[in-house]
Amino acid sequence: MANIFSRRSVMTLFSPPLCPMSHAVRFVLVEKAIVSEVEYYDPENPPEELLELNPTGVSPTLVERDLVLYDSRIIMEYLDERFPHPPLHQMDPVSRANARMLIKRIDQDWYSLLNEIIESGDKKSGKAKKQLKESLIAANPIFGDRPFFMSEEFSLIDCAIAPLLWRLPSLGIDVTTPNNAINNYAQRIFNRPAFKSSLSEAEKELVDFTK
């Protein structure tokens, strides 16, 4: 499909400024220091050219020459394989498969509730907020067990979780626990230079960025 986007010489990510799935991809791009451009757009009014490349309208969309990808988790996997250093997956097949299953579980258990909260608004999202809070707190021992989520090393799993945790304060969801494991984990991720650089201007406004 020939158009102005697919002819670009630089990898380009088309991203709504507040999309958590897009945010995860931006995090990977910066963490791996991949030369790329991010073009923000209004998801309520996407460019026609973008819809030609991605008829589903699902964000984000990654364009690299003739390649077009528009599933955030597939994009993250592609970037880690396309640019293998630093690796964000363990190299052995069993560990990689387990990581993929864990990210799928995170999407099913946590992101499904986050999407419900965002789409339904404050007045109708009370039940989903309660479920998300309780589910995250139930995972408190996992957050506190290792420096990163179920790992000694930073990985794609952390890139997947971070955008969700960043949005919790703006949604009125407090996951503070006696040992503060979730918040301590979150701050370790938020303090990474790559995470800070991955934030859109709109995302910076969700949380006090000076903390």
Query: Is 10 contained in some domain?
Result: no
Check which CATH number belongs to the domain holding 182 and give it. 1.20.1050.10
Query: Is 122 contained in some domain?
Result: yes
**Category of 207 on φ-ψ map: left (φ > 0), alpha (ψ -120 to 50) or beta:** beta
Give the model's pLDDT for residue 7.
56
For the chain, the domain total comes to 1
Q: pLDDT per residue over 38-81, tens digit each?
A: 999 998 898 888 888 888 878 899 999 889 998 999 999 999 99
Query: Is 165 contained in some domain?
Result: yes
Give the model's pLDDT for residue 210.
43
- 181-203: average pLDDT: 97
d(CA 132, CA 109): 8
Q: pLDDT per residue over 148-168, tens digit each?
A: 999 999 999 999 999 999 999
Give the model's pLDDT for residue 5.
53
Predicted TM-score of the model (pTM): 0.91
- Give the chain's mean pLDDT: 91
Token pair of 10 as six digits: 């630089």
**In terms of pLDDT, which residue wins out, 122 or 193?**
193
Query: Is 48 contained in some domain?
Result: no
61-64 vs 12-15, strand pairing mode? antiparallel
Confidence check: pLDDT of 2 > 60? no
Query: Is 207 contained in some domain?
Result: no
> Is 156 in contact with 99 (CB distance < 8 Å)?
yes
Query: Is 108 contained in some domain?
Result: yes
Q: Which domain holds residue 114?
A: 93-192
Give the model's pLDDT for residue 104.
96
With bands split at pLDDT 50, 70 and 90, how would you rate the model's confidence at 6? low
Query: Is 97 contained in some domain?
Result: yes
Query: Is 176 contained in some domain?
Result: yes
> Is 158 in contact with 99 (CB distance < 8 Å)?
no
Question: Tell me, what DSSP letter sits at residue 171?
Answer: G
